[in-house]
Amino acid sequence: MAKVAVMVIHGIGDQDDDFADDFMESISNKVDAKQSDYLIDSCHWADVLQTNQNDMVDDIQSSSYFWQLITRWVKKKLVTHFSDATSYYKAYGEIHCEVKKKLREMQNKVDKDCKFIVVAHSLGAMILSDFIYDHQKPKSEKLALIESLKEIITFGANIPLFRMGFKNDKRVAISGENGHGERINWNNY
């Protein structure tokens, strides 16, 4: 059973299931440990939103007006990137189910006292923050991996942009300690 677990959560954009394969392989090549001592896996949540996005892109692509030929690429990028951010709260529960499913799957492969690290990009940081916040609620299912969270590494966390619309929002993503009383480090790049 693994002593360290790492989960990678993607950000906005048209992501495939293998979005983190190169990153995970690079980490595995650099880790000076037996493969059985650590687990690194990815959480792919994009499929929750992808069907609606694909339908919208198809509508854009089917247009035949000359001026629309020029703007199709821009529109496709707007749909596949920004609609993730604008649709997140509507699909909140479904996206969080994907995160929970991945955590349960990983939990079965690690020691009960393993150190858990999450690497998240962009909207993935917001998803993680919301997930941890919900996890702290009294009636939430307590997941051992979240309880043993040791390190959060985010790239381009856009959390302030999502919180601006909430008046007097006093959200705190984490309390500073995990379920074992150990300090949690959060580094944003």
Alpha carbon of 92 to those of 19, 49, 53, 96, 114: distances in Å? 21, 11, 16, 6, 28
Q: What is the pLDDT of residues 135-172, one digit of tens each?
A: 988 888 989 899 999 999 999 887 766 666 666 655 44
- Per DSSP, 82 falls in state I
Q: What is the pLDDT of residues 21-72, one digit of tens each?
A: 999 999 988 887 777 799 999 999 998 987 777 777 666 666 556 666 667 7
CA atoms of 35 and 138, how far apart (whole Å): 36
CA atoms of 97 and 51, how far apart (whole Å): 17
pLDDT(8) > 80: yes
* pTM flag (> 0.85): no
Alpha carbon of 87 to those of 49, 77, 128, 144: distances in Å? 8, 15, 16, 29
